[in-house]
């Protein structure tokens, strides 16, 4: 006999298909005794349900929405593309992916956007947003109405999200730190650090990890206070150029946030590629080119495809009341050099 099916369970337990189904899906209206018989049959026969057949019968569609901040950064663009791409493949799996963009620091706009989603009858939400009370409350609200929620890229540890999909940013900062130190091979000097904003949680964490490693392992290096680039190329370029003019003996530059284009622009203009070790984040098309051109030495990155697939896997598991396989959902901190450019 092949794999046991509901029919086998029904026969073994001496009940009908409908009852087996009720037990399987933990729906009410089954006497404890009967349920027990079904459970024994399941155990005895080693039954494991065919999810695809179940979804087919159920006509079930999972509707998930990705909430991203508005913005034109290459990372966001790549993320949006990854969502669209995954969406195509997932149609066959009966999951529909939507993306909505909410203004970054406009709570009203955000609330409105999320409420619209709720009305649309969404099953799950992956949200990438700064940590604010408004977002925290919205997440609580969503969870209450039975919507699964994961945070994406930046965590909201104080919110009741089901899971965080993204990298460990302290470890990412440490990784940047050790590469910076080792690539500099004992040279003495100062290291500049650029972040989007000194308030953003992920920036704080990366900076923390970076400094910890430099302080522990590389006494020859001195890290300077964070410069703020605010996700903008121009602004990033300006603050860096300024700092370069005011400080001598800069040997390294760690760009912990977006705005890599601003960084490479200055490096190229001032011909610093050979003299300064530059480490950035996120393998955007721009960063790829910069690696090839030698304007960037290392890129620390997370695979946007993995982010999206992990988020949908987790949301689906939550919707089905299944546990996730934690090891499979851990997002890697990838190190990319010109040599191992994928």
Partner DNA sequence: CTGAAAGCGCTTACAG
Binding footprint of a copy of itself on the chain (CB under 8 A): 3, 48, 50-53, 55-56, 91-93, 171-172, 174-175, 177-179, 182-187, 213, 305, 328, 330, 332-340, 342
Say if residues 275 and 248 touch (Cβ distance below 8 Å).
no
18 contributes a contact to DNA by CB under 7 A: yes
Q: Using CB distances below 5 to 8 A depending on partner kind, what does residue 330 bind out of DNA, a copy of itself, none?
A: a copy of itself
Contact 210, 254 (CB under 8 A): yes
Residues 6 or more apart whose CB falls under 8 angstroms from that of 342 comprise: 283, 336
Range in contact with DNA (rule: CB under 7 A) among 54-62, 100-108, 129-137, 333-341: 54-62
The C-alpha atoms of residue 160 and residue 132 are separated, in whole angstroms, by 13
30 binds DNA (CB under 7 A): yes
Angle at 304 between CA 279 and CA 292, to 5 degrees: 40
Number of chain residues interacting with DNA (CB under 7 A):
33
Which of DNA, a copy of itself, none does 332 bind, CB closer than 5 to 8 A by kind? a copy of itself
Q: With binding defined as CB under 7 A, does residue 269 bind DNA? A: no
By C-beta, is 56 or 140 nearer to a copy of itself?
A: 56
Residue 326 φ then ψ, to 5°: -50, -45
Contact 100, 63 (CB under 8 A): no
Q: Which one of 20-28, 72-80, 197-205, 224-232 is the stretch in contact with DNA (CB under 7 A)?
A: 20-28
CB atoms within 10 A of CB 334: 17
Query: CA 216 to CA 174: how far, in whole Å?
Result: 11
Q: Output 34 or 183, the one with its CB closest to a copy of itself.
A: 183
Task: Tell me which residues touch DNA (CB under 7 A).
Answer: 2-3, 5-7, 14-22, 24-25, 28-31, 33-35, 47, 49-50, 53-54, 56-60
């Amino acid at each position: 006999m092949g794999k046991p099916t509901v029919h086998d369970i029904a026969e073994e337990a001496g009940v009908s298909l409908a009852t087996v189904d009720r037990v399987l899906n933990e729906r009410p209206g089954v006497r404890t005794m009967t349920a027990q018989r079904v459970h024994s049959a399941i155990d005895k026969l080693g039954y494991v349900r065919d999810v695809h057949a179940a979804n087919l019968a159920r006509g079930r569609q999972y509707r998930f929405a990705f909430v991203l901040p508005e913005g034109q950064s290459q990372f966001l663009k790549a993320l949006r593309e990854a969502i669209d791409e995954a969406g195509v493949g997932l149609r066959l799996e009966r999951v529909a992916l939507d993306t909505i963009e909410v203004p970054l620091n406009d709570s009203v706009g955000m609330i409105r956007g999320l409420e619209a989603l709720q009305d649309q009858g969404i099953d799950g939400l992956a949200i990438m947003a700064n940590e604010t009370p408004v977002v925290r409350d919205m997440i609580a609200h969503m969870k209450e109405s039975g919507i699964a929620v994961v945070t994406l890229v930046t965590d909201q540890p104080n919110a009741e999200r089901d899971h965080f999909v993204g990298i460990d940013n302290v470890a990412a900062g440490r990784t940047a730190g050790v590469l910076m130190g080792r690539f500099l091979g004992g040279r003495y000097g100062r290291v500049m650090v650029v972040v989007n904003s000194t308030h953003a949680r992920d920036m704080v964490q990366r900076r923390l990890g970076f400094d910890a490693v430099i302080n522990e392992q590389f006494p020859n290096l001195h890290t300077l206070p964070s410069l703020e680039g605010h996700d903008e190329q121009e602004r990033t370029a300006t603050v860096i150029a300024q700092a370069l003019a005011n400080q001598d003996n800069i040997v390294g530059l760690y760009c912990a946030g977006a705005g890599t284009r601003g960084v490479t622009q200055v490096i190229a203009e001032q011909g610093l590629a050979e003299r300064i070790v530059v480490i950035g984040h996120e393998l955007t098309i721009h960063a790829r080119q910069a690696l090839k051109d030698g304007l960037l030495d290392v890129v620390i990155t997370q695979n946007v495809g993995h982010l999206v697939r992990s988020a949908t896997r987790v949301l689906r598991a939550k919707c089905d009341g299944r546990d996730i396989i934690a090891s499979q959902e851990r997002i890697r901190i990838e190190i990319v050099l010109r040599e191992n450019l994928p």
